[in-house]
Structure 1
Amino acid sequence: MKKKQYNGYKSYQYLEAGVDYKEFKLSREYDRVEPFVYPVSAEQEEEVQRILEEDMIISLHEHTFIAPEDLNEFMAFRRQGRDFTGYEGLSISGLDVVFENFMDGTALITSNHGWKWDDIIFDLGMRYSDFAHQDLVIRAETIDDLYRAKREGKIAFITSLEAATQIENEVDRVDVLYGFGVRCMGIAYSEANALGAGLREENDSGLTQLGRQVVQRMNKLGITIDVSHCGDQTSLDVINESSKPIFITHAGARAIWDTRRLKPDNILKACAEKGGVIGIEAAPHTTLTEQNSSHSIESVMDHFEYTVNLVGIDHVAFGLDTLFGDHVGLHSLLSGQLSIGKSHQGPKFEKVEYVKGLENPAEAYLNVVRYLVKKGYSREDISKVMGGNILRVLKETWVK
C-alpha cells in the first residue's frame, strides 16, 4: 500500500523531553496488539488499494493521540495538557481526512470535570503548535484543504468538539471557536448543559432557547452540528431547528443493541431525511448485537448494514472513534468522567480486551474497506460511505 509522506517526526521533538515537559512512556502505535488484516483474496486486495489510492477516505470521528503505556499515569499525563499525535500510525492508515476531537471533555488541565473554556483553548493551541512543526497533517478549514491533502499525500485534520458545554452562556464563543478552526461541534455530551440534554440524563426536555440560538449561529458560521452524545429529544430538536443537514458522527442503531449510547430508528431517520449522515461507531463495547455480542469488526458492520437498510446508502459513513493505546482500559479509568457506565447500560455482553479488526486508526479503515469489497458492495457505494457522503454534507454546511 502507498504510504503517506511521513518523515519520521514525533510529537514535540523540537523540545527537550525532561526539560521542557515531563516525559511519559507511550503506547505502541500500530502493533500494541496483534495486527489484524480482514481476509480478502489477492484480487480483492488490489481493488482495496485502488479505492485507497483514488477515493477520499474520511473518518467522521477519531482521537488520534497516543495514550501512556501505564494508564495509572493517565491523569498526570492529562494534567500536563500535551497530547502526542500518532503520526506514524496515521501514515499507514489509508485515511485522507480525519475529524479530530482532541482531548475534548478529558482536557482536565485545570478541572476534574472537563469542558472548561480555558482547557479547550489550551488543548487546541498545544496541538496546533505541534502540527506546525511537521508535514504529514494539515489543518483543514475549507473544502479545498481536504482535496489538497489528498493530492499532496497528506492527512487533513478537521477540528471537532463533541459538545458546546465550554461556551457556557456566551453565544459569541461559538464564533471564537470557529476562528480557532472548529468546523464540527456537538451540542451536549453526557451531562446536560445550558443548551440541552446529554445522553446520560433521565429527563430530556430538549433544546433550550440558548441551544436554539447556538444551532442558528453554527448554521450561519459554517460549523457542522453533531448530536452523537445528545439525549433523544435534544437530538430531534437540533435536527428540526437546524436549517442545514447535521451529523451523528459516531453512534449505531439502538434497535439492534438496546443502550442509550446508540440512536433509535426515529432519530436515524430524521437525520437522514434532513440530508444528514450517520457515522458508525467502534469504541469498545458500544456497537454490539445479540448475534455478535463480542465486539469486533463483524458486530460494528452489523450496525452499518442495519443503518444502510433503514436510511439508505447516501446517509451512512464511519466515525469509528479509535485511538492509539488501551481503549478498553481508558474507558474503565474514565467511566465516571465520561458517564460510560450509565450510557452503556443494557444487554449483557462479553468484555473484550480490544475490538478485533478496528483496534486503532492504523488498521481500522483499511479493514472496513476490505470488508466492503469482500461483501460485494459496488465501487460507487464504497466511495459514498468512505467519504463521499460526508463531503456532500460539508459542502452544504461550510462557508463556500
Structure 2
Amino acid sequence: MLEPADRYTGYTAYDYLEAGKDYRAFEYAEQIGRVPAYQGLSLTSEQLLRTSSLLAESTVISLHEHVQAFPKDMGYLRDHIRQGREPTAYRGLSRSGLTAVFDNGMDGTCCISSDAGWKYQDVLFDLGVRMADIAHQDFVIKGETLADIEHARATGRIAHIFALEAATMIENEVDRLDVLYGFGVRQMGIAYSEANTLGSGLKERGDGGLTYFGDRAVERMNKLGIAIDVSHSGDRTALEVIERSTQPVFITHAGARSVWPTNRMKPDEVIKACAERGGVIGIEAAPHTTLSRAHPRHSLESVMDHFTYCVELVGLEHVSFGPDTLFGDHVGLHDAFAANLSLGQAHGNVEYEKVPYVDGLENPAEGFFNIIGWLVEHNYSDDDIRAVVGGNTLRVLKDVWI
C-alpha cells in the first residue's frame, strides 16, 4: 500500500459543517487497517518496488467502487443512509494509488424517502450533497472529461466520476438522463437486477430484453456521452444493449459464469459480444460474487481466476477491474439490504462458504496494490499491467465521452 498522497491535507467529509448541529454524526469504520493486511503475495524486494512504481506512475482507473465510509456499527446503517449525507472516504482514497474512480454511490439503498431506493429525488439529493462536499477540498476532483483524468494524473489528485448502477430512477422520462448528465453522471447501468422501464435485470425469471423505451434511453446515453454498463442486466437485455449502442459498452463489475455459475456472472456469449464491439469487462470482487472452483473461499486468488479466464476468452485488451469495494463491513451491508440487492436470486442455489471479508480486496485503499502485485508475481509485462489497470478503460472512454 502507498503512503498518503502528498496532495491530501487530512480533510474529512463535511468538515465545512458542524457535526451534531448541521448533521448527525456517526462513528465510521476504519479506512485503513480495518482487517489484517493481505499475506497472499510473495514478492521479492525487486517485485515489491516494481509493484509500487507501477501503481504510483500508471494511470489507474477503477471501473466500479463505492468510496464512502460506512458506520462502524452497521446497526446504524439505515439511520445513516436516511439523512442523505454519505461521507467520501478521503483518507482511504489517499492511500489507494488511484488516478480515477467510478463511484456508484449506493442508490439501490438510497432510502431517504423510501426503503425501496432508486427514487429520482433521492438520487439527485445524494449526488448534490456529495458534490458539495467534494467542492470544499482539493484532493478529490469531480471527473467529467478525459482532461479531468489527465489533470488528476498530472497534479497528484484523484478524479471522482459519478456513476449509477441502474437507470431505474428515470422511470419513463428520457430527458432525466440529460439532468443526471448535468449533475456529473458519466456512467450508468441499464437495470439493477430488478426489471425496469428499460429492460430486465439479472434476477428475473424471464428476460424480455431491451424495451422500446430502453432503445430511446440507449440512444440518448450515446448522444450525451454517458458510458453504458450492463453488469446487472439480464443476458438478453445485455446482448441487445451491446447490439443497439453505437458506442462500446462496459461490463463494469462482473466475472465469468463459466468460472462460477451464478446469474451475477456473465456468460461467455455476453462477454464476447461486449469485446467484439470494443467494450471492456471489469472484474468484480464484492463479497461472495467472483468465487471459483479452484478458490471457493473468496479472496484475491478467486478474483484473478476470473481475470485469467476472461483474458483467455477475449484478449487482455478487453479486461480491466471494477472491484466494487467500500470502506466498512461489506458483508454486513449485504446482510442488511439483501432484499434491495437481490442477493438470493443472484446467487441462486449455488452454495458457497461465507467469509467476513474478501482477503486482498477488502476496500479501495488496498485493491490495486494487490492486483498489480499479483500481476507482477505472475510475470505480466509492464505494458500489459498498465493496460488492465487503466489503459483499456481510457481507450473506451475516448470513444464514448464527448
- Give the TM bin, normalised by the shorter chain: over 0.9
| Distance in 2 of aligned mates of 1:17 and 1:210 | 44
Q: Which aligned segments of 4 or more residues in structure 1 are displaced greater than 6 angstroms?
A: none
Superposed CA deviations along residues 123-175 of structure 1, whole A, max 9, x for unmatched, are: 00000011011111000111010010011000001110000010011011111
Question: 1:160 is paired with a residue of what secondary structure?
Answer: strand
| Distance in 1 of aligned mates of 2:329 and 2:4 | 25
User: Is residue 232 of structure 2 the alignment partner of residue 229 of structure 1?
Assistant: yes
| Distance in 2 of aligned mates of 1:84 and 1:59 | 19
Match 2:75 to one of 44, 47, 72 = 72
Alignment partner, residue 46 of structure 1? 49
Question: 1:185 is paired with a residue of what secondary structure?
Answer: strand
Match 1:386 to one of 386, 389, 393 = 389
Match 1:251 to one of 246, 250, 254 = 254
| Distance in 2 of aligned mates of 1:3 and 1:12 | 20
Q: What's the CA shift for 1:3? A: 3.6
| Distance in 1 of aligned mates of 2:42 and 2:165 | 34
Alignment partner, residue 153 of structure 1? 156
User: Is residue 283 of structure 2 the alignment partner of residue 295 of structure 1?
Assistant: no
Superposed CA deviations along residues 321-370 of structure 1, whole A, max 9, x for unmatched, are: 00000001111111011111111124321110100010111111110000
| Distance in 1 of aligned mates of 2:294 and 2:380 | 22
Q: What's the CA shift for 1:103? A: 2.1
Alignment partner, residue 35 of structure 2? 33
Q: What's the CA shift for 1:33? A: 1.0
User: Is residue 49 of structure 2 the alignment partner of residue 60 of structure 1?
Assistant: no
Alignment partner, residue 191 of structure 2? 188
Alignment partner, residue 24 of structure 1? 26
User: Is residue 378 of structure 2 the alignment partner of residue 375 of structure 1?
Assistant: yes
User: Is residue 221 of structure 2 the alignment partner of residue 218 of structure 1?
Assistant: yes
The 5 A counterparts of 1:121-140 are 121-140=124-143
| Distance in 2 of aligned mates of 1:275 and 1:74 | 39
| Distance in 2 of aligned mates of 1:271 and 1:87 | 33
User: Is residue 293 of structure 2 the alignment partner of residue 273 of structure 1?
Assistant: no
TM-score (norm 1): 0.98
TM-score (norm 2): 0.98
| Distance in 2 of aligned mates of 1:347 and 1:109 | 33
Match 1:120 to one of 108, 123, 127 = 123
Question: 2:333 is paired with a residue of what secondary structure?
Answer: helix
What is the number of equivalent residue pairs in this alignment?
Answer: 399
Unaligned runs of 5+ in 2: none
Q: What's the CA shift for 1:195? A: 0.5
Superposed CA deviations along residues 172-207 of structure 1, whole A, max 9, x for unmatched, are: 111111111111001110110010001110110100
Question: 2:325 is paired with a residue of what secondary structure?
Answer: coil
The 5 A counterparts of 1:101-116 are 101-116=104-119
Superposed CA deviations along residues 44-63 of structure 1, whole A, max 9, x for unmatched, are: 11111221232101100000
Q: Contact (CA 8 Å) 1:143, 1:395: kept in 2 or not?
A: yes
Unaligned runs of 5+ in 1: none
User: Is residue 336 of structure 2 the alignment partner of residue 333 of structure 1?
Assistant: yes
Q: What's the CA shift for 1:314? A: 0.4
| Distance in 1 of aligned mates of 2:85 and 2:42 | 37
Computed over aligned residues only, the root mean square deviation of the Cα atoms, in angstroms, reads 0.9
Superposed CA deviations along residues 267-295 of structure 1, whole A, max 9, x for unmatched, are: 00000000000000000000001111100
Alignment partner, residue 8 of structure 1? 10
Superposed CA deviations along residues 236-287 of structure 1, whole A, max 9, x for unmatched, are: 0000000110100000000110000010000000000000000000000000
| Distance in 2 of aligned mates of 1:14 and 1:142 | 27
Q: What's the CA shift for 1:2? A: 5.4
User: Is residue 288 of structure 2 the alignment partner of residue 285 of structure 1?
Assistant: yes
User: Is residue 99 of structure 2 the alignment partner of residue 96 of structure 1?
Assistant: yes
Superposed CA deviations along residues 5-53 of structure 1, whole A, max 9, x for unmatched, are: 1101100111111111111111111211112253311101111122123
| Distance in 2 of aligned mates of 1:40 and 1:87 | 28
User: Is residue 292 of structure 2 the alignment partner of residue 311 of structure 1?
Assistant: no
| Distance in 2 of aligned mates of 1:344 and 1:24 | 32
| Distance in 1 of aligned mates of 2:110 and 2:63 | 21
| Distance in 2 of aligned mates of 1:80 and 1:200 | 29
| Distance in 2 of aligned mates of 1:220 and 1:62 | 25
Question: 1:336 is paired with a residue of what secondary structure?
Answer: helix
| Distance in 2 of aligned mates of 1:380 and 1:43 | 18
Q: Contact (CA 8 Å) 1:258, 1:346: kept in 2 or not?
A: no
| Distance in 2 of aligned mates of 1:34 and 1:83 | 25
State the AA in 2 paired with 1:202.
R
Q: Contact (CA 8 Å) 1:163, 1:187: kept in 2 or not?
A: yes
State the AA in 1 paired with 2:352.
F
| Distance in 2 of aligned mates of 1:120 and 1:153 | 30
| Distance in 2 of aligned mates of 1:222 and 1:347 | 38
Alignment partner, residue 85 of structure 2? 82
